[in-house]
Structure 1
Amino acid sequence: MTEHVLDNLLKNYTDLITRVDEHIQRLARIHKDRLACKKGCDECCRHLSLFPVEAFALSRAFSRLDAPCRERVLDQAHQTNRACPLLVDHVCMIYEARPIICRTHGYPLYMEKEGRAMVDFCPKNFKGVKKLDRSDMLDLDRMNTLLTVVNSHFTACFEDVLPDRIPVDQALELYQSL
């Protein structure tokens, strides 16, 4: 598969990422003094499973790392299934290509559970904020619906049936196998 073909297959995903990033960047500007999330803060970085569209985007970014870095990540992936193998010395090696859950973690997510409205965010963030505007929150159900649709469109372009979810350690070398 050529880069151009993969770019086209990932276009909906990259458009969604752009929208999510715009929201997060706006929040970061507004609440910059109330955010603990920064380089080196990795307590939330866990070994995850991803939709295939995210796994391929992650794998593509991984393939662009230099060989020693890829080897170190692969070694870490074989050693644990708890911490994200892409963390090297508390830094994400594919930060620009991180999945949506990683982009949004720590920021206010609006959801409904059993008919009750809930907002979740990292307890280290937004200290002293009494009330968040609804516009500060990402609607988790809507975002998950959009990601599911984007993923369905992406997987429909493959002849082989792709799994529903792909663990990060198995996603690392997907791109190289195309």
Structure 2
Amino acid sequence: MDSYLKLIDNISDETRALADQAGSLPCPTGCFDCCRNTATMSISLAEAKHLSIGLKMLPHQIQKNVKEKAERTINKIEQEGYSEEEIVMAGVESAEKIKGHIEGECPMLLSGVCVVYDYRPIICRVWGYPIQNNLEVACCKKTFLDSERKYKPLPYNRYWNDCKELSTSLNSKQKKDATHRIPICYFVQYLLKGD
């Protein structure tokens, strides 16, 4: 876990430097638009392990609310014909099925607040800033308006590859599962199953 925490520290340093260069943090106060369509977003084993710490620290009632929200998403997406594995394979296509619906919101977003903010996945730490995603630069439409090309994008591809490597070392006995990605809604359901 130390390597993952070091990765998070490096990301924090890089986002802080970019915010300083731009003159401010990218996201408007109170905005959580990026959380609205992430319930089926997949995370790595390393991210899931860190996220589980934050989820387990939540008061029981908050855990219950998060779990119920995740289960509503799962019910909705399965009604649309997707299984957990199909969500991972379909990616954005499956997210489009629930886009704009309450079931599309991240299950850990309650009343406009991320209840696991300090434990959030990598993409949640960098979205809002210009990021290098494969061959393109991606950026929230509300931040760095028409100026994202002025700044060196954050190397999201590198962060994601680091997460995959760390996931492999966390689960070296079962290589097949080590790089397994899990949709957030299913991860929450599995983790909080007994609650």
TM-score range, shorter chain: 0.7 to 0.9
Q: Which residue of 1 aligns with 2:13?
A: 22
CA contact (8 A) 1:155 1:162 kept: yes
Q: Normalization by structure 2: what TM-score? A: 0.71
Q: How does 1:114-153 map to 2 (within 5 A)?
A: 118-127=136-145, 129=147, 131-134=149-152, 137-153=153-169
Letter in 2 for 1:11: D
Normalised TM-score (structure 1): 0.77
Question: Which is worse superposed, 156-165 or 60-69?
Answer: 156-165
* C-alpha distance in structure 2 between counterparts of 1:175 and 1:155, whole Å: 21
SS at match of 2:140: coil
Distance in 2 (alpha carbons) for counterparts of 1:25 and 1:130: 16
| Structure-2 residue corresponding to 1:98 | 120
Cα gap change, 1:176 to 1:75, in 2 (>3 Å): closer
Separation of aligned partners in 2, 1:130 and 1:14: 27
Q: CA deviation at 1:96?
A: 0.5
Bigger shift: residues 143-152 or 88-97: 143-152
Number of aligned pairs? Answer: 161
Q: Could you list the runs of 4 or more consecutive aligned residues of structure 1 that deviate by over 6 angstroms after TM superposition?
A: 157-160
Which one-letter code corresponds to 2:11 in the other structure?
Answer: V
Shift of 1:103: 0.6
- The structure with the largest helix share of the pair is 2
RMSD: 2.7
Which segment is superposed worse, 148-157 or 43-52? 148-157
Distance in 2 between the 1:162 and 1:120 partners? 27
Aligned counterparts of 2:173 and 2:114: Cα–Cα separation in 1: 29
Q: By how many angstroms is 1:12 displaced?
A: 1.0
Higher strand share: 1
Identity among equivalent positions (%) equals 27
